[in-house]
């Protein structure tokens, strides 16, 4: 093979490789390094950082707050994923049932929710749940007859996370519904008809025919939702700014920000970040392996 | 041979969401009542999903005293542009115009750079067999899973050590590295769909290899480049966390960071102005979505991952 041809692929890869090594690879290594050193505000100003081995990890894993935050993140993630996938499936099935006009109407509604930038969406929902003038309190007052005006939704952690889950699920359903709808339309009509002739109920047709047909799509959607909902940052961060109590509502991403950027415990925060990364990789391992196999790499 | 659908098929056939469904059914009369019921459910659901967007626009058009009043105003019965004026020109500490400029610059930078780099990289990965190819593909798959939240400290320190805090170039580079794994992966699928024979034919006709890539393959990649571009655009325009820690000076903020300053600037939030600001940030994205919606789902599923 001539040298030019041997070099060409590397030449084509070089810019991407450079960007990834410098902006992703180096910080990853640096994150590991930081997690093994004592690194506080003073070190940021030039004081040498002493090597402390696994001290940061031990401190993290023996800290009750870390476990609270992790458990909170997981429970929140699970609730969001289950809601997103269930309601997303129902909406996709509804899209299948609709005529052309109503499908267009529903698609437009979904599209509007999907298109909202997460930050703008969060602020709008914060306004909807505003204690004094929010439409939610207005609505509840006129519906129930009780006086909801002045009700603080974000001060109680449970209702804080209920609001956060509502916003996240609202924003995530359109993508899930559209994707599943696209998958369902690929199921051959003859197969469904044959199942119907054989006496399969609608429920059986759904679980025995439609779901297995789009199984890979479900796997991708579930893994994606798990990753997105576990590392949620913007939504929680902004809701806290509107009126949540940080210590009782932080999730892993926000916790790292609090420990590191806000309080200056860079070493400890990096140890949490490494653990966080390992959790993410574990969740996605199945998906990565399946993809590699499918692509025959 | 029809060439147009090849790229699309390769990426798991993006299905146009709003196009008529694959199955067109003719309904017997007895099903009309049921389909009317489903239609009603769909209308309610559509309204529920669109409501926050509507409420944002509605609030942004109402005068301040009506926004923070005892009564609910379900539509802008007293229309005003004052909130937009306040949002755009009333913010002394962190002005709108520079934020818009920064967002436009960083988005443009990431859009163009990610499409060019991903095109090169996807060619390397699909058209050549070389040592390290598998390792590279596996690495970008794994890198996609590393949460940006975990890397915020080391990325911040890296940018800081280069003295590049508060610069569009630095934020653009961070975003570029963030979107590259996904864009390379997606585009790779589309390049796979362009028959290599076409390039070979062009080379037999006297084209050089780079010329064959540029003249033959590139034009056939339109759907893939749209998917790639959409993703890069959304990422760069919407991203909040990295912008929050890298762009801290009032004049170097991007739109999302600017939007958040509304809440801290005044004790009591000026909801009307905040909603006007949110509309300004959301409009380009909503327009973009309406234009490219058909390509969104298929492209995202085929490439998968990275939020």
pLDDT tens, position by position, A22-79: 999 999 999 999 999 999 999 888 888 899 989 999 999 999 999 999 999 999 999 9
Under 8 Å between Cβ of B262 and B269 = yes
Report the alpha-carbon distance of residue B294 to residue B302 in Å, rounded. Answer: 14
Chain A residues within an 8 Å CB radius of B237: 117
In 3D space, the residue among A178, A206, A214 whose CA is nearest the CA of residue A84 turns out to be A178
Token output for B39 = 């239609």
Look at residue B230 and tell me whether its pLDDT is greater than 90: no
| Contact across the interface for B45 and A106, Cβ inside 8 Å | yes
A244 pLDDT above the threshold of 90: no
Percentage of chain A lying above the pLDDT 70 cut: 98
How much is the pLDDT for A157? 93
Average pLDDT of the segment spanning A264-278: 95
ipTM score above 0.85: yes
Helix, strand and coil content of chain A, in percent to the nearest 5, comes to 80, 0, 20
Could you tell me which residue, B193 or A121, shows the higher pLDDT?
A: A121
Give the model's pLDDT for residue B4. 29
The proportion of chain B whose per-residue pLDDT surpasses 70, expressed as a percent, equals 84
Nearest-by-Cβ selection for A20 from B116, B143, B209:
B143
How far apart CA A164 and CA A169 sit, in angstroms, is: 9
Residue B10 pLDDT = 32
A37 forms beta bridges with A51
Tokens representing B13? 């056939």
Binary contact (A297, B156; C-beta < 8 A): no
Mean pLDDT of chain A: 91
Q: Which of A4, A11, A16, A260 to mutate to test the interface with B (most CBs of B within 10 A)?
A: A16
- What is the rounded (10 degree) CA torsion for A8, A12, A14, A15? 160
Are the C-beta atoms of residues B114 and A16 closer than 8 Å to each other?
no
**pLDDT-derived band at A146, boundaries 50, 70, 90:** confident
Chain A nearest-CA distance from B243, in A, is 11
SS3 assignment, position A37: strand
Q: A154: closest CA among A173, A128, A119?
A: A128
CA distance B61 to B75: 9
Residue B9 to residue B299: CA distance in whole angstroms: 10
Question: Chain B residues with CB inside 8 Å of A223's CB?
Answer: 305
Confidence of residue B2 (pLDDT cuts 50, 70, 90): very low
pLDDT in tens, A149-182: 888 999 999 999 999 999 999 999 999 999 999 8
Residue A95 has pLDDT above 80, yes or no: yes
* Distance in angstroms (rounded) separating the CA atoms of residues A218 and A85: 8
Q: Answer whether residue B23 shows pLDDT above 70.
A: no
- Structure confidence at residue B26 (pLDDT): 52
Q: What is the mean pLDDT of residues A8-19?
A: 93
Residues from chain B contacting residue A291 (CB–CB below 8 Å): 141, 304
- Residue A163 CA, chain-centre distance (Å), reads 15
> pTM for the whole thing?
0.88
- Give the residue on A whose Cα is nearest the Cα of B290: A111
Are the Cβ atoms of B124 and A109 closer than 8 angstroms?
Answer: no
Interval B123-161: pLDDT, tens: 999 999 888 898 999 999 889 888 888 999 999 999 999
Query: Do the Cβ atoms of B17 and A178 come closer than 8 Å?
Result: yes
**Mean pLDDT, rounded, for A252-278:** 94
Q: How many whole angstroms separate alpha carbon A199 and alpha carbon A39?
A: 67
Instruction: Answer yes or no: is pLDDT of B21 > 50.
Output: no
At residue B297, the pLDDT reads 53
Summarize the confidence of residues A229-249 as an average pLDDT.
91
Contact B110, A192 (CB under 8 A): no
Q: What are the tokens at B285? A: 């994205």
Residue B99 CA to residue B240 CA, distance in Å, equals: 13
Please tell me the distance in Å from A132's CA to the nearest CA on chain B.
8
C-beta atoms of A117 and B281 within 8 A? yes
Which pair of structure tokens corresponds to residue B204?
């037999």
Residue B269 binned pLDDT confidence (cut-offs 50, 70, 90):
confident
Mean pLDDT of B233-260: 93
pLDDT score of B305: 33
Helix (H) or strand (E) holding A35: helix A26-35
Q: What is the pLDDT of residue B119?
A: 94
Residues A128, B146: C-beta atoms closer than 8 Å: no
Q: B285 and A115 in contact by Cβ < 8 A?
A: yes
**Predicted confidence (pLDDT) at residue B39 exceeds the cutoff of 80:** yes
Supply angle C-alpha A61, A67, A72, rounded to 5.
155
pLDDT tens sequence across B62-79: 998 888 877 888 888 888
Provide the pLDDT for residue B172.
97
Residue A103 has pLDDT above 80, yes or no: yes
Torsion of CA A188, A190, A193, A195, to 10 degrees: -80
Instruction: Check: CB of residue B8 under 8 Å from CB of residue B291.
Output: no
The confidence score (pLDDT) of residue B1 equals 27
Residue A27, classed as helix, strand or coil, is: helix
Q: Which range (A10-14, A204-208, A224-228, B19-23) has the least confidence?
A: B19-23
Q: Are A228 and A172 in contact (CB under 8 A)?
A: yes
Tens digit of each residue's pLDDT (9 = 90 or more) over A63-86? 999 999 999 999 999 999 999 999
Q: How confident is the model at residue A20, as a pLDDT?
A: 95
Quick check: B259 and A120 CB within 8 A?
Answer: yes
CB-based contacts of A146: which residues, under 8 Å, 6+ apart? A140
Q: What is the predicted pLDDT for the residue at B77?
A: 84
Q: Which chain A residue lies closest to B293 (C-alpha atoms)?
A: A111
Residue from B149, B193, B277 to probe the interface with A (highest A Cβ count within 10 Å): B149
A66-71 contact pairs (CB < 8 A, 24+): A66/A255, A66/A272, A69/A250, A69/A251, A69/A252, A69/A255, A70/A252
What's the confidence (pLDDT) of residue B132? 87
pLDDT score recorded for residue B28: 55
Residues of chain A positioned with their CB less than 8 A from the CB of B174: 23
Q: Which residues contact B210 (CB under 8 A, 6 or more apart)?
A: none
Phi/psi at B165 (nearest 5 deg)? -60, 145
- Between CA A258 and CA A260 the distance in angstroms is 6
What is the CB-side half-sphere exposure of residue B94 using CA atoms within 13 A?
23
Residue located via tokens 């058209």: B127
Contact assignment for A135 to B72 by CB distance below 8 Å: yes
């Amino acid at each position: 093979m001539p040298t030019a041809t041997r070099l060409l692929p590397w030449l084509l890869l070089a810019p991407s490789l450079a960007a990834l090594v410098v902006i992703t690879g180096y910080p990853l290594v640096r994150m590991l390094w930081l997690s093994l050193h004592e690194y506080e505000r003073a070190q940021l100003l030039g004081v040498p950082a002493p090597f402390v081995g696994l001290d940061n990890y031990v401190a993290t894993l023996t800290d009750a707050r870390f476990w609270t935050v992790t458990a909170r993140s997981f429970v929140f993630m699970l609730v969001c994923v289950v809601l997103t996938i269930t309601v997303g499936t129902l909406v996709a099935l509804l899209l299948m049932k609709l005529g052309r006009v109503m499908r267009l109407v529903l698609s437009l509604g979904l599209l509007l929710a999907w298109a909202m930038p997460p930050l703008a969406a969060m602020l709008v929902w914060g306004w909807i749940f505003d204690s004094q003038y929010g439409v939610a309190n207005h609505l509840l007052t006129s519906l129930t007859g009780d006086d909801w005006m002045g009700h603080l939704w974000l001060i109680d952690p449970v209702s804080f996370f209920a609001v956060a889950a509502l916003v996240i699920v609202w924003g995530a359903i359109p993508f899930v519904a559209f994707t599943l709808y696209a998958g369902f339309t690929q199921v051959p009509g003859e197969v469904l008809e044959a199942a119907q002739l054989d006496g399969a109920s609608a429920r059986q047709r759904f679980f025995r025919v439609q779901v297995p047909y789009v199984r890979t799509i479900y796997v991708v959607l579930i893994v994606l939702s798990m990753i997105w909902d576990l590392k949620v940052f913007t939504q929680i961060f902004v809701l806290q700014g509107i009126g949540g109590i940080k210590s009782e509502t932080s999730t892993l991403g926000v916790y790292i920000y609090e420990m590191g950027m806000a309080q200056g415990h860079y070493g400890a925060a990096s140890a949490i970040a490494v653990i966080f990364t390992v959790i993410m990789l574990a969740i996605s391992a199945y998906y990565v392996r399946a993809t590699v196999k499918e692509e025959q790499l | 041979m029809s060439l147009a659908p090849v790229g699309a098929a390769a990426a798991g056939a993006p299905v146009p969401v709003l196009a008529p469904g694959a199955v067109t059914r003719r309904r017997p009369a007895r099903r009309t009542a049921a389909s009317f019921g489903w239609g009603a459910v769909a209308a309610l659901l559509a309204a529920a999903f669109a409501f926050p967007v509507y409420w944002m626009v509605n609030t942004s058009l109402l005068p301040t005293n009506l926004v923070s009043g005892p009564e609910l105003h379900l539509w802008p019965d007293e229309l005003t542009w004052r909130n937009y004026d306040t949002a755009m020109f009333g913010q002394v500490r962190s002005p709108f115009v520079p934020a818009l400029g920064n967002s436009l610059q960083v988005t443009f930078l990431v859009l163009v750079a990610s499409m060019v780099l991903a095109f090169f990289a996807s060619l390397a990965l699909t058209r050549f067999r070389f040592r390290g190819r598998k390792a590279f593909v596996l690495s970008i798959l794994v890198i996609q899973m590393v949460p940006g939240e975990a890397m915020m400290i080391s990325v911040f320190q890296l940018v800081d050590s280069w003295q590049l805090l508060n610069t569009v170039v630095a934020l653009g580079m961070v975003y570029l590295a963030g979107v590259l794994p996904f864009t390379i992966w997606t585009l790779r699928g589309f390049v796979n769909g362009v028959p290599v024979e076409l390039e070979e034919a062009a080379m037999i006709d006297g084209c050089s290899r780079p010329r064959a890539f540029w003249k033959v393959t590139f034009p056939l990649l339109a759907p893939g480049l749209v998917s790639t571009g959409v993703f890069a655009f959304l990422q760069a325009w919407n991203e909040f966390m990295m912008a929050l820690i890298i762009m801290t000076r009032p004049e170097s903020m991007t739109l999302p960071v600017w939007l958040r300053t509304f809440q801290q600037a005044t004790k009591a939030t000026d909801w009307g102005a905040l909603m006007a600001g949110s509309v300004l940030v959301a409009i380009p994205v909503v327009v973009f979505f309406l234009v490219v919606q058909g390509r969104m789902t298929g492209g995202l599923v085929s490439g998968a991952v990275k939020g």
